[in-house]
């Protein structure tokens, strides 16, 4: 998939109402942030992504969930969650085809993502 196609895919809203509903419920479940709420949000986002694997906002929020689990010390294997977050954002192999750049993400997550993407 070319970078331009990735950006279009990441920015587009899903046409599946079930995926959209799951996404909205996941964002609502995320706050206030606790381990349980992050895991609940991630479970909903994974369902939305299973329905529409190109749903940019759901991919971004799933990455944020993985990053928060690492940053907040909620996982026993932080490297696994870190890699999942990077994969969801499309930052592998030094190519910055980031979903994050073209989809809505809370500004407070940018420093976390920068730290997590570092080698």
CB 58 within 8 A of CB 19: yes
Which tokens is 51 given? 């329905």
Give the model's confidence band at 14: pLDDT under 50 very low, under 70 low, under 90 confident, else very high. confident
The pLDDT value given to residue 22: 97
pLDDT tens digit sequence for 3-12: 454 455 555 6
pLDDT tens digit sequence for 59-79: 999 999 999 999 999 999 999
pTM above 0.75, yes or no: no
């Amino acid at each position: 998939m070319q970078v331009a196609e990735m950006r279009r895919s990441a920015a587009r809203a899903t046409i599946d109402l079930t995926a959209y509903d799951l996404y909205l419920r996941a964002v609502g479940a995320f706050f206030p942030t606790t381990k349980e709420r992050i895991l609940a949000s991630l479970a909903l986002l994974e369902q939305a992504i299973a329905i529409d694997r190109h749903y940019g906002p759901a991919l971004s929020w799933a990455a944020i969930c993985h990053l928060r689990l690492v940053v907040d010390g909620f996982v026993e294997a932080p490297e696994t969650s870190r890699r999942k977050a990077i994969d969801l954002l499309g930052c592998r192999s030094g190519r910055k085809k980031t979903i994050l750049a073209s989809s809505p993400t809370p500004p407070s997550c940018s420093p976390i993502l920068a730290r997590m993407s570092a080698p």
